[in-house]
Structure formats: C-alpha cells, structure tokens
C-alpha cells in the first residue's frame, strides 16, 4: 500500500483505514454535539409511555458501563438527574450511585414539562435525553464501535424485541435481517404506536435517533374506516394538557385560525393518546400535526 512520487512516500488508505477513520469522525461528531449544547441542566429519561418502546431495563442491563460513562461525561458539562417511573427499583439501584434519580407517575410520565418541573423546579433551561442516547454516547467515549439499539415489534418480522446493529441500515435491509415477510407487511412506523411516523421510503436510512420500529401487518393495524366524531369526549378526558383535541381539529378544518390558537394548538405535546382512544378511529394527532405545520410555518 505504498508507492513513491517525486521522491515522496505516500501511503494508500485501505478500505479498512477509511472505515476506521469514518468511525472516529462519527464518534467525535457525536461527542461534540453534547459539548456544544451549552445546556445548564440535563435530564436523562429511563422510560417511555409508549408500550412498544419498552426496552429500557434490558438496555440498562446489557449496556450498564456505556450508560454510566455517558451520564458521568454529561456531569462534567451540566447538572444531571435521571427521571424514572415510580417503583422502578432497578434503575434507581444502578444509577443512583452516580446521580440523583427522580421518580414520576401518572400523567407526569406523559407530560415532559411536568417531569422537567419536578426535577428542576426553578429552571426552564433543561435538555432531555434518555438511556438510548446515553449508551450511544458512552460507546463513543469508550471508543467502541457505535452499536445502535432499538426495539422492534410487529408480526411482519420474525425477530422482535431489543435489537442491536452496528452500521447504517435502510429500513429494507433491517426488514430482511429480521426475516421479514413482504407479503404480510402493510405499514412501517418509526417510533411509538401513538406518536410514530409512517415510513414511505423503504430504502431510506434509519435515523441514528430512532428508538423503535414497527413492521405491521393488516391484523396489527386493525384497520377501520375513519368515522364521524360521536362527541364521546374521550379525547378530552385523556389529554394530559386538558385540551379539546377534536375541537382543535374541527376549528382548523373550518379555517378558524384564531380559535385554533385559543384552544391551545401549540400546547399539544403530541402524545397521541387522543388518536389511540378515539372510537371513531379519527387520526387526531396527525391532523393536529398538519395544523401546527400549516399555521406555524414562517412564524
């Protein structure tokens, strides 16, 4: 791998050298993204309210060293606390030795503003990460290969649960590795069952921040035609922000922009509970997202 030109020795970079160099650049880029935040307070979340993003305990067991390394590093940059579900003794036992663990329950689990306030009551300058982020940061700091970890569910693939992979993959490549059945697949979702986003480009690369993937069959989706609102008020009762989600949607449809904002459009935290509970199968969250995108554009 060496040749000479003008009496100067030049070393050719092998494919392996390029890969190693790219890995190092990716590690440094990841570490720098935390250093450049200039955030005073950091909260590390050890749970997700969505049922399919539930691999936190398994991740903490498998990647304890990396997670602790990531948290310890953040402590050199900011004040750091961990927030866990009330009664989660395992997380508290593992992480309480390196930083304070705050327990939350009820609606506080869904509402990010509420558990932030509980951890840092006097400061709004708070950045929220979770254990998936910390294990990746820990790997970078330990100069390990960056293994992404995600949870995978759905009856269109044979392999499900907590999955680790070591390079950039497309959704199709991941689907094939998980022994997917193309004849059964009807929908791919990046994220949770309530708030996840449908993937339309099967050949696009899985984002580094992905926590979960759903490869769904028709049976998984339980497809039903969207029906008219029956004014059951279930979306009102379940909303952690005490909004009237369906009224926001209807006001946007009627182009009543002022009323949409007065109803609290921008207070919606996009938890997806309204869509989940709706007996008429109205995609309330997706419609609210469209309203936000349309009305907030350029503001």
**Residue-wise pLDDT tens digits, 176-188:** 999 999 999 999 9
Element housing 93 (H / E): helix 89-95
Higher pLDDT, 36 or 144: 144
Higher pLDDT, 107 or 219: 219
d(CA 199, CA 196): 9
Q: Which of 76, 191, 58, 207 is nearest to 131 (CA)?
A: 58
Res 7: pLDDT: 47
Higher pLDDT, 155 or 2: 155
Q: Are 216 and 188 in contact (CB under 8 A)?
A: yes
Average pLDDT over residues 130-145: 93
d(CA 25, CA 17): 12
Q: Are 57 and 131 in contact (CB under 8 A)?
A: no
Instruction: Count other C-beta atoms under 10 Å from residue 274's C-beta.
Output: 28
Here the tokens at position 8 are 């100067």
Binned at pLDDT 50, 70 and 90, residue 4 comes out as very low
Q: To the nearest whole number, what is the mean pLDDT of the chain?
A: 87
Query: Using one digit for the tens of pLDDT, what is the confidence trace for 33-49?
Result: 998 777 889 999 999 88
d(CA 200, CA 49): 25
The owner of tokens 């099967």 is 202
Distances (CA, A) of 224 to 218, 221, 276, 279, 281: 10, 9, 13, 10, 7
Distances (CA, A) of 96 to 49, 83, 92, 217, 239: 22, 11, 5, 41, 32
Query: Using one digit for the tens of pLDDT, what is the confidence trace for 158-170?
Result: 999 899 888 789 9
The burial class, CB within 10 Å (0-12 / 13-18 / 19+), for 207 is exposed
Residue 243 CA from chain centroid, whole number: 24
Average pLDDT over residues 114-127: 87
Q: What is the DSSP letter of 97?
A: T
């Amino acid at each position: 791998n060496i040749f000479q030109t003008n009496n100067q020795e030049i070393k050719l970079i092998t494919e392996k050298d390029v890969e190693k160099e790219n890995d190092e650049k990716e590690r440094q880029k990841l570490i720098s993204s935390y250093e450049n935040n200039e955030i005073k307070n950091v909260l590390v979340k050890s749970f997700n309210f969505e049922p399919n993003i539930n691999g936190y305990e398994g991740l903490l067991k498998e990647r304890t060293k990396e997670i602790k390394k990531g948290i310890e590093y953040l402590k050199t940059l900011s004040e750091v606390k961990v927030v866990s579900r009330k009664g989660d003794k395992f997380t508290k036992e593992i992480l309480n030795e390196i930083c304070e663990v705050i327990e939350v329950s009820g609606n506080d689990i869904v509402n990010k503003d509420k558990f932030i306030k509980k951890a840092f009551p006097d400061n709004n300058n708070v950045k929220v990460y979770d254990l998936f982020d910390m294990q990746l940061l820990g790997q970078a700091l330990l100069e390990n290969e960056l293994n992404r970890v995600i949870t995978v569910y759905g009856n269109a693939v044979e392999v499900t649960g907590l999955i680790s992979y070591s390079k950039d993959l497309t959704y199709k490549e991941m689907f094939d590795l998980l022994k997917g059945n193309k004849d059964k697949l009807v929908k791919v979702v990046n994220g949770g069952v309530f708030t996840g986003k449908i993937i339309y480009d099967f050949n696009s690369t899985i984002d580094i921040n992905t926590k979960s993937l759903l490869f769904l069959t028709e049976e998984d989706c339980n497809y039903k035609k969207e029906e008219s609102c029956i004014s059951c008020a279930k979306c009102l009762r379940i909303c952690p922000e005490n909004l009237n989600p369906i009224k926001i949607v209807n006001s946007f449809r009627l182009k009543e922009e002022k009323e949409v904002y007065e109803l609290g459009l921008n207070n919606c935290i996009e938890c997806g509970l309204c869509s989940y509970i709706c007996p008429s199968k109205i995609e309330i969250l997706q419609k609210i997202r469209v309203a936000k995108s349309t009305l907030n554009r350029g503001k």
